[in-house]
């Protein structure tokens, strides 16, 4: 479906819906439906018209990489795992940097000792520590997979 035909179909739906609303003397509560339809029409686009040279990066989850790691046996599979682990490490480092900024912001906003535990500062600190730990773990796993792909012996990562 081309972008023009999708827009025409959306326009027809909106016209039909508008005339139905006028006939029913509808209130403003039906406007969100129209907004949703408009948003869907704008976001729909036509993927066939995107340039072939632009490739969207494929993001894998930690769970998906764990499953792939269990099945990996060849050097190419281990190289791919190393790339996936490196991508996860980068994502965790990005999250850690964001959480560090949030932690600093909350420290500045906190007023003395908080009555409840964990305070928002503690939560931000713990999330930062978690993301730093996960990034280091993904880095160690990426290095291990690189060694396995190269055929060298691997030391324990735990």
Give the start-to-end residue ranges of the domains of the chain: 3-49, 62-150
Per-residue pLDDT of the chain (158 residues; tens, 9 = 90+): 554 555 555 555 545 555 544 554 444 444 444 444 445 454 555 444 444 444 455 678 999 999 999 999 999 999 999 999 999 999 999 999 999 999 999 988 887 665 677 788 889 999 999 999 999 999 999 999 999 998 876 665 55
pLDDT in tens, 25-55: 444 444 444 444 445 454 555 444 444 444 4
Q: Residues 6 or more apart from 3 whose CB is under 8 A from it?
A: 44, 45, 46, 49
Tokens of 96: 């850690």
Quick one: pLDDT at residue 95? Answer: 96
**Residue 51 in 3-state DSSP?**
coil
Quick one: pLDDT at residue 11? Answer: 55
What's the rounded Cα separation, in Å, for the pair 82 and 55? 20
Quick one: pLDDT at residue 158? Answer: 54
Give Cα separations from 28 to 15, 34, 39, 41, 58 (angstroms): 16, 11, 18, 21, 41
Specify whether the CB–CB gap between 149 and 75 falls below 8 A: yes
């Amino acid at each position: 479906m081309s972008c023009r035909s999708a827009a025409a179909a959306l326009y027809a739906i909106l016209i039909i819906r508008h005339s139905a609303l006028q006939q029913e003397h509808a209130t403003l509560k039906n406007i969100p439906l129209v907004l949703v339809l408009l948003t869907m029409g704008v976001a729909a686009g036509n993927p066939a018209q995107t340039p072939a040279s632009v490739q969207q990066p494929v993001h894998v989850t930690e769970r998906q990489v764990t499953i792939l790691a269990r099945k990996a046996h060849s050097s190419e599979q281990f190289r791919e795992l190393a790339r996936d682990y490196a991508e996860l490490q980068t994502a965790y480092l990005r999250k850690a940097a964001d959480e560090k900024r949030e932690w600093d912001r909350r420290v500045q906003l906190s007023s003395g000792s908080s009555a409840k535990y964990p305070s928002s500062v503690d939560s931000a600190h713990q999330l930062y520590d978690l993301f730093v730990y996960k990034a280091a773990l993904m880095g160690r796993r990426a290095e291990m997979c690189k060694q396995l792909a190269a055929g060298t012996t691997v030391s324990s990562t735990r």
